[in-house]
Structure 1
């Protein structure tokens, strides 16, 4: 278990080091490839718009673009890990409207929730960050509930302080999801791989997942994302990422295992539910010679309401043989470095945030 945590930590830190050293000569994919790409498959094809974000990184510096949400005013909020401006606010044309936040050096997870007509943010700092000298550092992560403009409502306690973790259990959360009654679900995806369940006040209820369970269905390996699935309106469930296992796992709201959807070859990030589909950034994909964790192998994957992959924008077309999904690979020429999160707007356009993409802002995929 410790070895796995160390590997994930080293992979994340190594990626951050690459992003902070463009002199290493790595190709910046989204600047060097053709400018009028149409990507995707079947009914889900998109035009790639790389210059969607109208901003100057000299004035609003970026390290990694981690996640994006849209508020009730139609503004797109992007969370990154540069403390000059953790939150960047855009309109749908890409014009920057605002920026704020200097206290989330490991800014990673962003969830927006309507609470009685008021937008609330749940911001996750995963604990990995670059210090002022450019060195990689790690500390315990944190989860914050704030207003839409960043005023702190409360933060969740470290699991050790409330007797939920042992002293040597790592806590580096990556994502949150909010249940229909306001309950908070935290994915400890860079720490101990538990899903931590709290009520709307931040009081602990239960945890599940982790490693070495008697029932292996409950094992999570890099529990990077968690989301509410309302496709059955009378029976909402949780979708949890087990990224190193190339899978989404489904659970009841009280943590009972339902099923696993395998996504061979794809190291998926958080599931994003929209109009019956699941969308996800693929941060890495396996290569044809079997290598994993290879830099610049990302794309986006889309599952329909039957959890069947129907399109891989930036990846090769999904293939099923006798009903079984075959390994998925990045397409060439490469469009993405590392797809970390997506947001789907009301016109079904996709905005792709990328980790380790050499200071570049999100890319827009315009539905065609």
Structure 2
């Protein structure tokens, strides 16, 4: 993998020396470089920028659309065995488990009709899943149907360890306050951070047994440092090993916000024109699906396909697979846009394997399976 990446870098992949064309699924870069893995050919679609470029593999997942139907592929994680576990919201199957070749190994669950968030945490050598059901499911004629939101801790084969119920039951929410959780993150000591991204936009912190500790954020917060508008994602940022932080999505603000483990504000990173989903941390990189962006001319609505993926080194955007190249002027990131060919429709989540390949889950993408972006 590294020899292939070095070849393309030396050859100047983004330069005019390589021919760039358009196809039905997006821009292609033509090269005849052969290595021990396979031959890139004229039909390959290459996405991304700089050192973060990928071959698009749309038909990675090997599943039958009739036997294993999909609605939306929301999130994916990789377990300690190298298996890729995905959460979706089809009433016949909520959790799908693949190997890295795309073969379906197992699937289970019908209780998470609004299956949305999926976090994996290794506890004493055993992988545990934290599943968020947002409380919204797709019903007949594509109409959204409301039910009770839910956070569940389960084994990888679906056995429920415990549930975290509505915050109203412990006096945190008032009667009538909606609880529509979208994500969880697990802290260094096992604390559970729940993002109520479709409800009150709070980050709610519990201990490892589900006992309430504190909450912060909220869509109506008058302090801009703590205001979260569509707190869609939450993760623990371990890139500074001596100072792990909680990083939260404020999607309507096109931003990530960082807090200490006990909820004290640290910083905000604004990503112009990128309505980002959950942050995914890997080495020094932060990856995120971009669910929506606006075109240079005109406006779109939330159902239009306007997404891509963004990749950061530290706090700097270095690549936008499916989007335009990130540009900084006087140190300020300029707006990024979806490519006109729309190779990625709605970036909802990114999973990274040990070879730095990416697996992209998409919402509202014509019932598509996860895509693979193969690192080159």
Instruction: Give the Cα–Cα distance (whole angstroms) in 1 for the partners of residues 221 and 293 of structure 2.
Output: 27
TM-score normalised by length of structure 2:
0.87
Which residue matches 1:13?
none
Structure exhibiting the larger radius of gyration computed from Cα positions: 2
The alignment status of 1:218 with 2:226, answered yes or no, reads: yes
Which residue matches 1:151?
159
The alignment status of 1:297 with 2:297, answered yes or no, reads: no
The alignment status of 1:97 with 2:105, answered yes or no, reads: yes
CA-to-aligned-CA distance 1:22-72 (integer Å, 9 cap, x gap): xxxxxxxx9855751101000000000011111111110000000001111
Instruction: Give the Cα–Cα distance (whole angstroms) in 1 for the partners of residues 372 and 25 of structure 2.
Output: 16
CA-to-aligned-CA distance 1:310-361 (integer Å, 9 cap, x gap): 0000000001110000111111211011010000100000000000011110
Which residue matches 2:117?
109
Instruction: Give the Cα–Cα distance (whole angstroms) in 2 for the partners of residues 352 and 136 of structure 1.
Output: 23
Instruction: Give the Cα–Cα distance (whole angstroms) in 2 for the partners of residues 347 and 147 of structure 1.
Output: 26
The alignment status of 1:46 with 2:32, answered yes or no, reads: no
Distance verdict in 2 for CA 1:166–1:290, change over 3 Å:
farther
Which residue matches 1:12?
none
Instruction: Give the Cα–Cα distance (whole angstroms) in 1 for the partners of residues 72 and 360 of structure 2.
Output: 12
CA-to-aligned-CA distance 1:208-248 (integer Å, 9 cap, x gap): 00033342110000000000000110110011000010000
Please say if residues 55 and 96 of structure 1, whose CA atoms lie closer than 8 Å, have aligned partners that are also in contact: yes
Please say if residues 175 and 225 of structure 1, whose CA atoms lie closer than 8 Å, have aligned partners that are also in contact: yes
Larger mean CA deviation between 323-332 and 192-201 belongs to 323-332
Which residue matches 2:340?
332
Instruction: Give the Cα–Cα distance (whole angstroms) in 1 for the partners of residues 292 and 222 of structure 2.
Output: 29
Instruction: Give the Cα–Cα distance (whole angstroms) in 1 for the partners of residues 141 and 309 of structure 2.
Output: 33
Please say if residues 284 and 292 of structure 1, whose CA atoms lie closer than 8 Å, have aligned partners that are also in contact: no
Which residue matches 2:354?
346
**What SS does the corresponding residue of 1:216 show, helix, strand or coil?**
coil
Which one has a larger percent helix, Structure 1 or Structure 2? 1
Distance verdict in 2 for CA 1:31–1:100, change over 3 Å:
farther
Which residue matches 2:180?
172
TM-superposed deviation, 1:293 = 3.7
Which residue matches 2:169?
161
Please say if residues 110 and 176 of structure 1, whose CA atoms lie closer than 8 Å, have aligned partners that are also in contact: yes
CA-to-aligned-CA distance 1:178-237 (integer Å, 9 cap, x gap): 000000000000001000000000000000000333421100000000000001101100
Please say if residues 285 and 293 of structure 1, whose CA atoms lie closer than 8 Å, have aligned partners that are also in contact: no
Instruction: Give the Cα–Cα distance (whole angstroms) in 2 for the partners of residues 32 and 154 of structure 1.
Output: 43
CA-to-aligned-CA distance 1:255-287 (integer Å, 9 cap, x gap): 001000000000100000001100000001121
CA-to-aligned-CA distance 1:95-146 (integer Å, 9 cap, x gap): 1111111111000000000001000000000011123675421123110000
Distance verdict in 2 for CA 1:290–1:194, change over 3 Å:
farther
Count of residue pairs the alignment pairs up = 338
Q: 1:201 aligns with which of 209, 212, 215?
A: 209
The within-5 A match list for 1:29-108 is 32-33=25-26, 35-108=43-116
Distance verdict in 2 for CA 1:319–1:81, change over 3 Å:
same
- Point out where structure 2 has 5 or more consecutive residues left out of the alignment: 1-22, 29-42
**What SS does the corresponding residue of 2:74 show, helix, strand or coil?**
strand
Instruction: Give the Cα–Cα distance (whole angstroms) in 2 for the partners of residues 36 and 106 of structure 1.
Output: 35
The alignment status of 1:276 with 2:280, answered yes or no, reads: no
Please say if residues 89 and 114 of structure 2, whose CA atoms lie closer than 8 Å, have aligned partners that are also in contact: yes
The alignment status of 1:242 with 2:216, answered yes or no, reads: no
Instruction: Give the Cα–Cα distance (whole angstroms) in 2 for the partners of residues 152 and 121 of structure 1.
Output: 9
Which residue matches 2:19?
none
Instruction: Give the Cα–Cα distance (whole angstroms) in 1 for the partners of residues 236 and 161 of structure 2.
Output: 22
**What SS does the corresponding residue of 1:291 show, helix, strand or coil?**
coil
TM-score normalised by length of structure 1:
0.89
Distance verdict in 2 for CA 1:290–1:179, change over 3 Å:
farther
Q: 2:130 aligns with which of 122, 138, 150?
A: 122
